[in-house]
Structure 1
Amino acid sequence: MKLRMTKRTALLGLVAAALIIPGVKATSADSAQSATGVSIPQAAQMDLQSGVNPFSPSTVTTSTTPYAPSGGNWQNIGGDWRWAANGTGLQIASTWAKINGHIYHFESTGWMNTGWYKEDGTWYYFQPSGGYAGALHTAGWLKLGETWYYLDPTTGKMIADTEKIINGKLYLFDIDGKMKTGWVSMSQGWRYIDALGDRVFGWLKLNGTWYYLDPSTGIMQTGRRAINGTTYVFNSSGAMSTGWTKLKEGWRYSDSNGVEYLGWLGLNGAWYYLDPSNGVMVENASKTIGGRTYTFDANGKMKTGWVSNSDGWRYLNASGYETYGWLNDRGTWYYLDPSTGIMKTGRHTINETTYVFNASGAMSTGWARLSDGWHYSSTSGAEAVGWAIVNGYWYYMDPSTGIMVANTSKNIGGKTYSFDASGVWRS
């Protein structure tokens, strides 16, 4: 028979659909012919065969509660099915009716609803075709296309914009009544619903990316989480991290299996340190590790070579820790304070020998001018004091300061000597 749909096609984009209920096998329905040869719904066949006395309403019947007419028959007028009273031929309209155990709804024009029907903000579904065409769907689950709906088995009302426990399982439905699948945002956070409407718990792999849903609540995890004794990092989208990830506490690193690194990490020729207590990369700071102090730049890389701090220059060897005492860097000698590691400049006595270091910290050999004057050191770096002959000329270095005497006369050992502006002894 020809049926007319009443649900807006924009909602489902379906003109007619077969009814499929989870766990229930669909069956075919027989049809019958009226005396006029018109095919009629199976639900009405018993009325036509039983000889029930017709009811004779004097006016069009309207009601919001299904009632059972005392008699009548189905009529097909212009492709629309109607229920007419026996004898009078009057049609029921704008009402719900229970006919032969099935509930139907009739529009104001009297024709029987099929498909979706909305009343007082609630949707109902009437079979669009088959032997029970027009009968209210009260079997619970309804699959149209690839979408599942659930209609209350008692009232036929579509469940929408809520969650509902059905046969002991919790299902979620959107505002259009569709059972939710995939990622669903709730007040507690994100959950994932599989194609059967089941919430996923624990590990979930989607399109090559791993996620972790709390085993108790199903809430997607973000940030740093310990799972079965292993720590993993999940970004703000819930994806398990591999490689570098920045959380609010700082940068972290995870291997290809998502396991968080702790302690030293060598990567692309550079060394990093992930704090063992929280996994956060040390950056732009110095940290004592295993009794040695290491310095890390703003990108977390362990520094090597010369490093300038507020208190002066230090030298970090290839292993990243500070050097103390004498240092030969590319053929030049430097001296780092044995206690602080700070590079020395100026005049310093080391193991009873005095050395002179220029402003760059390099140990001087030969002449060196400091803020207090000229000094002279031998090829070993030891500072000359007293008389010194350089390039055939005599100079005198003050024994107490090491400063070259120049442009003056000076009594040395009871005898007066004169020195020119260059410090050379003249007489």
Structure 2
Amino acid sequence: MKKHFKALLPVLLLTGLLFGLSMTASAEDSKEGYWVQNGDRWWFQCTDDWYPTNGLYEIDGVGYAFDQWGYMMTGWWKDPSNGLYYYFDLNSGAMQKGWVWDGAWYYLDPEYGYMYSDGFYTIDGNDYWFKPDGSMVSGWYFYDFVADDGWPGQWYYFNQNGTVYPDGWLWDNGYWYYIFNGTMMYNVFTPGPVTGNPDDTTSWVFDASGHLVYGGWTWHSYPDGSGYWSLANADGTGYNGWLWENNHWYYIDNGYMINNTTYTAPDGYTYAFDGYGYLANQEGWIWIGDSEYGFWTYTDGNGAVLTNSWKWIDGKCYYFGEYGNMYSNGTYVIDGVECSFDHTGAWIQ
């Protein structure tokens, strides 16, 4: 102990002033006393024959922990009153604060000394992640949780010094990854708009493991079992434009295959695509949506649909809105005139 003391057989005694420490101390808690060594253990004897047990106490401005018998603790100690962990010097028993190495890096709150754990913390302007056991994370780390939307957890990547990897590309173990806000991107991702380059609309295709995909189709699934198809170029960028494959036309928008919807292409026409992504290139009715939600639209022989237009079909007149959606079962204002339609979509004259 780095204090002046005098030897008294068979124990050593050190004087000091004790404060009860429940994160903050008050002057009314102060007690005069002295340190006593018993073998290789220390305890603090107050002048009124009382000694501290089972908790944190401040002595001469330094925090200490004492067990149920009153012996000073060293190393890790869990406060039974709040479940928080603290670390005390192995020699002096003084409460440690800041960074501590004990087989891994740990961080102790600079004011109160408790161990940071299980989450993100900002330290000196840098973000770090600490595991549930308090050890600092470096490299890959999977945070296991289920989000409100059903997604099961998220991968993060940290530099070897524990700081969050900066936004951008990461080459690791033979694969390219993209890290954003410390998290590994997967599926189709367009970094430009979220990284301060809104004019950069280039999309990249990643598989479920976060690996950049070099060409071909990839299925991306959602927690509910649904999902979508993407198509990557040979350099990993998302394919963009029309594609003729297996006797069908597809349209790919920055990697995303358009399906089960109507879509306005760069040529200004709106086209209908079925659930497989096939262009509806036969004239006639097509249902867009699922069994519960959707709308009817009508395509010409080239897959285009009417928008904001009237059309006579089999002796009945129909109106199709902005997305090619047929109006039905209600009254709508069209060009300033109220028009009514029955449940089949036919105009009621």
* TM-score normalised over the length of structure 1: 0.44
Given that residues 63 and 94 in structure 1 are in contact (C-alpha distance below 8 angstroms), is that contact kept between their aligned partners in structure 2? no
Number of residue pairs matched?
231
**Alpha-carbon distance change, 194 to 272 in structure 1, aligned in 2, over 3 angstroms:** farther
Q: Does 2:177 align with 1:211? A: yes
% same residue: 31
How far the C-alpha of 1:275 sits from its partner, in A, is 4.7
Question: Distance in 2 between the 1:232 and 1:85 partners?
Answer: 68
Partner of 1:234: 206
Q: Does 2:102 align with 1:141? A: no
How far the C-alpha of 1:123 sits from its partner, in A, is 1.0
1:104 pairs with 64, 75, 88, which one? 64
Question: Distance in 2 between the 1:175 and 1:161 partners?
Answer: 4
Partner of 1:194: 159
**Alpha-carbon distance change, 279 to 149 in structure 1, aligned in 2, over 3 angstroms:** closer
Question: Distance in 1 between the 2:177 and 2:101 partners?
Answer: 29
How far the C-alpha of 1:31 sits from its partner, in A, is 7.9
- Which structure has greater strand proportion? 2
Partner of 1:83: 44
Question: Distance in 2 between the 1:154 and 1:196 partners?
Answer: 23
Structure 1 gaps of 5+ residues are: 1-28, 56-60, 283-427
How far the C-alpha of 1:117 sits from its partner, in A, is 1.0
**Alpha-carbon distance change, 241 to 274 in structure 1, aligned in 2, over 3 angstroms:** farther
1:252 pairs with 211, 231, 236, which one? 231
Letter in 2 for 1:254: N
Given that residues 45 and 51 in structure 2 are in contact (C-alpha distance below 8 angstroms), is that contact kept between their aligned partners in structure 1? yes
How far the C-alpha of 1:260 sits from its partner, in A, is 4.3
2:35 pairs with 73, 79, 100, which one? 73
Partner of 2:53: 93
* TM-score normalised over the length of structure 2: 0.52
Partner of 1:387: none
Structure 2 gaps of 5+ residues are: 192-199, 221-226, 259-349
Given that residues 230 and 238 in structure 2 are in contact (C-alpha distance below 8 angstroms), is that contact kept between their aligned partners in structure 1? no
How far the C-alpha of 1:271 sits from its partner, in A, is 12
How far the C-alpha of 1:203 sits from its partner, in A, is 0.9
**Alpha-carbon distance change, 104 to 280 in structure 1, aligned in 2, over 3 angstroms:** closer
Deviation larger for 201-210 or 161-170: 161-170
How far the C-alpha of 1:126 sits from its partner, in A, is 0.9
Letter in 1 for 2:185: Q
Given that residues 114 and 127 in structure 1 are in contact (C-alpha distance below 8 angstroms), is that contact kept between their aligned partners in structure 2? yes
**Alpha-carbon distance change, 202 to 251 in structure 1, aligned in 2, over 3 angstroms:** closer
Question: Distance in 2 between the 1:223 and 1:173 partners?
Answer: 27
Over the residues paired in the alignment, what is the CA RMSD in angstroms? 4.4
**Alpha-carbon distance change, 279 to 175 in structure 1, aligned in 2, over 3 angstroms:** closer
Given that residues 264 and 273 in structure 1 are in contact (C-alpha distance below 8 angstroms), is that contact kept between their aligned partners in structure 2? yes
Q: Does 2:133 align with 1:180? A: no
Secondary structure in 1 matching 2:32: coil
Q: Does 2:116 align with 1:159? A: yes
Secondary structure in 1 matching 2:189: strand
Letter in 1 for 2:233: S
- Residues 196-247 of structure 1 show CA distances to partners (whole Å, capped at 9, x for unaligned) of 2222211112212111123xx3443222234545432101121111243344
**Alpha-carbon distance change, 198 to 95 in structure 1, aligned in 2, over 3 angstroms:** closer
Given that residues 239 and 253 in structure 2 are in contact (C-alpha distance below 8 angstroms), is that contact kept between their aligned partners in structure 1? no
**Alpha-carbon distance change, 122 to 263 in structure 1, aligned in 2, over 3 angstroms:** closer
Given that residues 204 and 255 in structure 2 are in contact (C-alpha distance below 8 angstroms), is that contact kept between their aligned partners in structure 1? no
